[in-house]
Amino acid sequence: MGKEIKFSLVFRDMWQSAGKYQPRVDQLMKIAPLIVKMGCFDRVETNGGGFEQVNLLYGENPNNAVRQWTKPFHEAGIQTHMLDRALNGLRMSPCAKDLRQLFYKVKKAQGTDITRIFCGLNDPRNVIPSISYAHQAGMIAQAALCITYSPVHTVEYYIDLAKQFIEAGADEICLKDMAGIGRPVSLGKIVKGIKQIKDIPIEYHSHSGPGFSVASILEVCQNGCDYVDVAMSPLSWGTGHADVIAVQEMLKDAGFQVKDINMEAYMQARTCIQEMLDDFLGYYCPAQNRLDNSLLIKPGLPGGMMGSLMTDLEENLSSLNKWKVKNGQEPLTTDQLLVKLFDEVAYVWPKVGYPPLVTPFSQYVKNLSLMNVILMEKGKNRWEMFPDTIWDMVLGKAGKLPGEVDEEIKALAASQGREFTTTDPQENYPDCLDEFRAKMAQNGWEIGQDEEELFEYAMHPVQYEAYKSGKAKADFEADLAKRKAEKNAAPAAALPSSVTVNLNGQLYKLDISYDGTAPVAAKSEAASPAAGPSEPVPAPISGKFLMTKDNSETPRKVGDHVKRGDVLCYIEAMKINNAICADFDGVITEILASNGDSVEEDDVIVKMTRDK
């Protein structure tokens, strides 16, 4: 009998790779016994990056979800594991040291056994402290190598990185092939090289989109891999992961020892997942994410990010096409925009130093690329929208980039007075828990069992406040109702209902009729000039309007005097807070959106008067 290969069901990542949301806790509890009954899994990925934020977004307490969800697997002797973003914890932005330490204490208490620690830059300075924090909490520390394919990401590079993690005390190593673009033979060499350093458990994680994953699984297993991440129908393949049935049959034929699958339970679990899709989750799973696509080899975008990308793309395409129709241009199709985006990612990625395309840096590179595409489609220049969070990556505040930043980007940084840094990234983010304890006391909120509510608030402050106020649940239910109504409605042509024209410096809004009848008065506004000398500040991108990016900032108000380049507000789009800055010195005369409102590109969000 050959070497035993064990399977891990990446249930969390199955959903994140398909769309935007995760199942509710009642749905998780319904499928857990069926996963156990399948009998083929030694591990289940129960939580991690993305999982807890989306719980908050639809008004559910993630701490309760994690505690209930891990329990049936423990009772069955199945290990649970989570995805952990090292310096970033469970979010897109870096965390304070005391928050990172609390993170592991909370997750261990909630029932998570293994933490898969990864840094999107593969910077050991970010990963190694988390290995120590995990051990202090009694967790298994699995250090991940973020696999990508570039001139700087060689076999030797990854073996050396694994050696550093092993010497720092990592219990296991994961090859996190998040885009599925690792070449099979090279991956086999990496596994073999790590095993020569130490016979440490190795787990392979790959998305199937570009088409390499099954060949890669066979190659890493033949070179000593111990665990393989798999998915199950109807969320396998596409931007997700290889299905456990195919992997099990392939490895069995190759002589490996693998567990049998209870097919009756598999079909029951498959039906249960389909019921979840039909209930509401399917409204957030774009059809393209169910398909394999070798075009993904070139941009190297990860499967987990592709889940939300197609939703983001729909919104941005709609806004861009409205602008194109308004300006007498032919609209783009989704495929046309997707190809333009893929080409731009391939252009941008080397220029910003080849960061492995995994959260949050995959989103940074993708967002920067998409902004460039939209700008250029409108006749503008690249780099005109370059959010501060992306600058932090480029400047070294989040860790050391694997490659050299292009001279074009260095020149742009210098022109804006931005400086590069080589300090330990953690030094940029001071402790924060005392501040959040005080805020919770002021609000009368409990810090929770094992301080889990304190952790949740400090990790996701904006989402947590929206959850506590009920706004998150209301927004989610309104959005779901809108999606259901749109799906059930007869298709309509994507044509604008109004147009704004500039006549001798005055703005007028005109309603458009396509059938010769007068527009309905209740749906139109009087065609009147903009009041006074105020000038509009339009939203450059669709998203959520925010007055501040976090609690450290003071929101702008009517009457504030601002200088050119000062931040007026933010628009959260594609998981990034994009700063909206003043184009001239002046005074804010109106703020037309409320905090948390959804705005479309070109909506007027602020009005200002110029200094004389």
Q: Over the stretch 236-279, which tens digit does the pLDDT of each residue have?
A: 998 899 999 999 999 999 999 999 999 999 999 999 999 999 99
User: 538: which strand partners?
Assistant: 604
- Per-residue pLDDT, 308: 61
Angle made by CA atoms 208, 209, 215, in degrees to the nearest 5:
40
Please name the residues in contact with 335: beta carbons below 8 A apart, sequence gap of 6 or more: none
SS3 annotation, 504-565: CCEEEEEECCCCCCCCCHHHCCCCCCCCCCCEEEECCCCEEEECCCCCCCCCCCCCCEECCC
pLDDT at 528 over 80: no
Return the minimum-mean-pLDDT range out of 71-75, 310-314, 421-425.
310-314
pLDDT at 191 over 90: yes
For the ranges 331-335, 347-351, 551-555, the maximum mean pLDDT occurs at: 347-351
- The answer to whether the CB of 605 falls within 8 A of the CB of 557 is no
Cα 61 to chain center, whole Å?
A: 20
What's the average model confidence in pLDDT over 421-433?
Answer: 94
User: CA–CA separation, 598 vs 500, rounded Å?
Assistant: 20
User: CA–CA separation, 575 vs 384, rounded Å?
Assistant: 19
Q: Which two tokens stand for residue 381?
A: 């220049």
What's the average model confidence in pLDDT over 327-344?
Answer: 89
What's the average model confidence in pLDDT over 158-186?
Answer: 96
- The answer to whether the CB of 441 falls within 8 A of the CB of 562 is no
- Per-residue pLDDT, 517: 45
- Per-residue pLDDT, 607: 93
Q: List, for residues 39-60, the tens digit of each pLDDT value.
A: 999 999 999 977 888 888 888 9
Return the minimum-mean-pLDDT range out of 296-305, 533-542, 559-568, 600-609.
296-305
Per-residue pLDDT band at 74 (split at 50, 70, 90): very high
Cα-based distances in Å from 278 to 89, 217, 281, 488: 32, 32, 7, 13
State the alpha helices, DSSP H only, in 327-470.
Answer: 334-351, 361-377, 388-395, 407-415, 433-443, 452-459, 461-469
Q: List, for residues 112-134, the tens digit of each pLDDT value.
A: 999 999 998 999 999 999 999 99
- Per-residue pLDDT, 344: 92
- Per-residue pLDDT, 400: 93
Looking at the chain, the whole-number percentage of residues with pLDDT higher than 70 is: 90
User: CA–CA separation, 394 vs 364, rounded Å?
Assistant: 10
Q: List, for residues 532-571, the tens digit of each pLDDT value.
A: 578 999 888 888 899 887 766 788 999 999 998 888 999 8
Per-residue pLDDT band at 102 (split at 50, 70, 90): very high
In the predicted model, what is the mean pLDDT of the chain?
88
Specify the domain boundaries for CATH 3.20.20.70 within the chain: 6-290
Secondary structure (DSSP) of 277-318: HHHTGGGGS-GGGGS--GGGGTT---HHHHHHHHHHHHHHHH
Helix (H) or strand (E) holding 52: helix 51-57
CA 554, 103, 387, 581: dihedral to nearest 10 degrees?
-10
- Closest to 380 (Cα-Cα) out of 310, 333, 320: 320
Per-residue pLDDT band at 495 (split at 50, 70, 90): low
- Per-residue pLDDT, 520: 42
- Per-residue pLDDT, 530: 40
pLDDT at 504 over 70: no
- Per-residue pLDDT, 515: 45
User: CA–CA separation, 384 vs 283, rounded Å?
Assistant: 33
- Per-residue pLDDT, 320: 86
pLDDT at 4 over 70: yes
Per-residue pLDDT band at 310 (split at 50, 70, 90): low
- The answer to whether the CB of 45 falls within 8 A of the CB of 10 is yes
Top pLDDT among 520 and 556 is at: 556
Which fold, 530-610? Answer: OB fold (Dihydrolipoamide Acetyltransferase, E2P) (2.40.50)
- Closest to 22 (Cα-Cα) out of 33, 14, 10, 30: 14
Cα-based distances in Å from 541 to 50, 416, 460, 600: 23, 22, 23, 7
Specify the domain boundaries for CATH 2.40.50.100 within the chain: 530-610
- The answer to whether the CB of 319 falls within 8 A of the CB of 377 is no
What's the average model confidence in pLDDT over 521-525?
Answer: 35
Query: Which overall architecture, per CATH, does domain 6-290 show?
Result: Alpha-Beta Barrel (3.20)
- The answer to whether the CB of 595 falls within 8 A of the CB of 546 is yes
